[in-house]
Amino acid sequence: MQDAIAIPLPRAGAAAAYDGRMRLTDATDEWLAKRSARGDADAFEQLVLRYQDRLYTLALRVTLSEADARDCVQEGLISAWRAIGSFRHDARFSTWIYRIVLRKAYDVLDRRRRMPEPVEEVVAVAADRPADERLDLIAALATLEPDFRAAVVACDIIGMAMDEAAEALGVPPGTVKSRLHRARGKLAETLQSHRTA
Amino acid sequence: MSDDPTQHDELRRRLAEQGAAPAPPELADEVMRRVRAEPRPRQRPTWLRPTLALVAAAVLVVAALVGISRIGSASSSSSGSSAARETAGPASSSGAGRVPSTAPPTATALVHGVPAAHLQQLFGLKSASGVPSDTLITCQPARIDVRVPSALYDSLQARLRHAAATGSSARRVTVVLHRGGAAVRTLRVTCP
């Protein structure tokens, strides 16, 4: 990857406006998205590197399958590259890309619902590791309904603000808030019962 | 379901610390390999969509205006003289006495009240084939069919109409003028 190419620098106090030279890694998401829309694959690569872990976490925690999560992120990013010309630059790139990958993850769940897979494959992420505290938490997360899981992942793991999560999940902020509250309660309950068992 | 806020905060902390999963190391490379193999995305200029909409609207308005003007001219000409009626093919008709510049080869004009005395002069019967002049003016009913070369159709029709309007002969006939196709090179006059 070419990491230091000639791109404009930000003006003081204006993150999206540039008039000098800077490193690609310092550019804002929206500036990189604009460059990507003009066909700059290096700018898009910067976005991929910036978001791949968060997107993978989102897809993995929703689909509960490493293979499906990898596919969701790959397909989501390719779709984003194809559609980046239609990205509205007044929107947040992060919300846009989360939404694309989340839609792919829900598609996987829909397909799975129509053609149920062996349970072992789906829960393999949680089952083949030592039963430490981390695994307890991830296993407990896996027991939540997908919509509730997505809310927890968006807000508590990835760290989205409530309104951003609402936009990414395509529901009102109030719905995210209530899902989050109920999901945390259920998680606490599951973890408690796991400890006492 | 537990509603303990302290417990919820503790859960949030643990989720933030332990919930994240790093993407597989080859994921970004694989994505970028596919991205670089794809055609570059083309950003449609922002002005293109409104411009296209404007052009489409303008085309529609012009088409509507042309349509309205045609309907208007057709109705005004159909309310005019009924002395002559022209038909263009079997499915359409236009107003009497009006000769469209793009009239098809099969056009027919009906001109009533042409003075019989003018016919020989109008059609130059000496050169017309098949019908003697005395037969022509005694056709029963008083009607003749004339198939003319396409090039003469308009001028003959005009002259017939002029004769019908200005002639003073008591003996009058109806002339059905047919526009001949490309193969018709001479006048052909027949009684029905």
Interface test mutation site (partner A, options B10, B27, B38, max chain A beta carbons within 10 A): B27
Interface test mutation site (partner B, options A184, A190, A194, max chain B beta carbons within 10 A): A184
Contact A8, A67 (CB under 8 A): no
Contact at CB, B21 and A74, closer than 8 angstroms: no
Rounded CA-CA distance B115/B161 in Å is: 10
Rounded CA-CA distance B165/B25 in Å is: 97
Looking at the structure of chain B, the number of domains it has is 1
Residue B120: which residues within 8 A CB-CB, separation 6 or more? B133, B136, B137
Say if residue A102's pLDDT is above 70. yes
Say if residue A45's pLDDT is above 90. yes
The amino acid occupying position A154 is: A
Contact A8, A19 (CB under 8 A): yes
Architecture per CATH, domain A19-128, reads as: Orthogonal Bundle (1.10)
Q: Which CATH number fits domain A129-197: 3.20.20.150, 3.40.50.300, 1.10.10.10, 1.10.287.130?
A: 1.10.10.10
Residue B89: the pLDDT is 41
Nearest of A153, A157, A151 to residue A169 by alpha carbon: A151
Of A44-53, A165-174, B80-89, where does mean pLDDT reach its minimum? Answer: B80-89
- State chain A's mean pLDDT as an integer: 81
Of A36-50, B40-54, B89-103, where does mean pLDDT reach its minimum? Answer: B89-103
- CB of A55 less than 8 A from some CB of B: yes
Say if residue B164's pLDDT is above 60. yes
pLDDT band at B41 (very low <50, low <70, confident <90, very high): low
- A134 CB neighbours in chain B (<8 A) are 18
Secondary structure of B48-81 in the HEC alphabet? HHHHHHHHHHHHHHHHHHHHHHHHHHHHHHHCCC
- B1 CB neighbours in chain A (<8 A) are 182, 185-186, 188-189
Say if residue B67's pLDDT is above 80. yes
Average pLDDT over residues B175-185: 75
- B7 CB neighbours in chain A (<8 A) are 184, 188
Say if residue A60's pLDDT is above 70. yes
Domain chopping of chain A, boundaries: 19-128, 129-197
**In chain B, count of helices (H) and strands (E)?**
6, 6
Six token digits for residue A128: 């083949």
Contact B4, A188 (CB under 8 A): yes
Residue B72 in any domain: the answer is: no
**Triad A110, A115, A119: Cα angle to 5°:** 95
Query: If you measure CA to CA, which chain A residue comes closest to B9?
Result: A184
- CB of A179 less than 8 A from some CB of B: no
pLDDT band at A172 (very low <50, low <70, confident <90, very high): very high
Residue B90: the pLDDT is 41
Say if residue B37's pLDDT is above 80. yes
- A85 CB neighbours in chain B (<8 A) are 41-44
Say if residue B66's pLDDT is above 50. yes
Of B111 and A149, which is predicted with more confidence? A149
Q: How far is A178 from chain B (nearest CA, A)?
A: 12
Rounded CA-CA distance B128/B130 in Å is: 7
Rounded CA-CA distance B7/B131 in Å is: 116
B50 upstream amide cis, omega within 30 of 0? no
Q: How far is B55 from chain A (nearest CA, A)?
A: 22
Nearest to B44 among A69, A85, A189 (CB): A85
Interface test mutation site (partner A, options B4, B9, B29, B32, max chain A beta carbons within 10 A): B32
Residue B119 in any domain: the answer is: yes
Residue B22: the pLDDT is 92
Of B75 and B107, which is predicted with more confidence? B107
Residue B73: the pLDDT is 64
Average pLDDT over residues A149-170: 92
Residue B1 in any domain: the answer is: no
Say if residue B71's pLDDT is above 60. yes
Residue B70 in any domain: the answer is: no
The total of other beta-carbon atoms located within 10 Å of residue B131's CB is: 18
Range of the domain at B181: 84-92+103-190
Query: If you measure CA to CA, which chain B residue comes closest to A36?
Result: B41
Rounded CA-CA distance B25/B14 in Å is: 25
- CB of A73 less than 8 A from some CB of B: yes
Q: Is B173 helix (H, G, I), strand (E, B) or coil?
A: strand
Of A34 and A122, which is predicted with more confidence? A34
- CB of A65 less than 8 A from some CB of B: no
- CB of A177 less than 8 A from some CB of B: no
- B31 CB neighbours in chain A (<8 A) are 48, 52, 73-74, 77-78
Say if residue B26's pLDDT is above 90. yes
The amino acid occupying position B59 is: V
Residue B156 in any domain: the answer is: yes
Average pLDDT over residues B151-161: 84
Of A88-97, B80-89, B98-107, where does mean pLDDT reach its minimum? Answer: B80-89
**pLDDT one-digit tens code per residue, B132-148:** 444 455 555 677 788 87
Contact A15, A89 (CB under 8 A): no
DSSP assignments along chain A, one per residue: ---S--BPPEETTEEEEE-S-B-GGGS-HHHHHHHHHTT-HHHHHHHHHHHHHHHHHHHHHHH--HHHHHHHHHHHHHHHHHHGGG--TTS-HHHHHHHHHHHHHHHHHHHHHHSPPPHHHHHHHHHTS---HHHHHHHHHHTS-HHHHHHHIIIIIS---HHHHHHHHTS-HHHHHHHHHHHHHHHHHHHHHHHH-
pLDDT band at A22 (very low <50, low <70, confident <90, very high): low
Give bridge partners of residue B149 from the DSSP assignment.
none
- CB of A142 less than 8 A from some CB of B: no
**pLDDT one-digit tens code per residue, B86-117:** 444 443 444 444 444 454 556 888 888 888 77
pLDDT band at B74 (very low <50, low <70, confident <90, very high): low
Residue B107: the pLDDT is 80
Nearest of A119, A106, A107 to residue A145 by alpha carbon: A106
Of A104-108, A163-167, A186-190, where does mean pLDDT reach its minimum? Answer: A186-190
Of B56 and B148, which is predicted with more confidence? B56
Say if residue A77's pLDDT is above 90. yes
Interface test mutation site (partner A, options B11, B17, B26, B34, max chain A beta carbons within 10 A): B11
Average pLDDT over residues A162-185: 92
Residue A117: which residues within 8 A CB-CB, separation 6 or more? none
Say if residue B122's pLDDT is above 90. no
Contact at CB, B18 and A57, closer than 8 angstroms: no
DSSP state of B111: E
- A190 CB neighbours in chain B (<8 A) are none
φ, ψ dihedrals at B181, nearest 5°: -75, -170
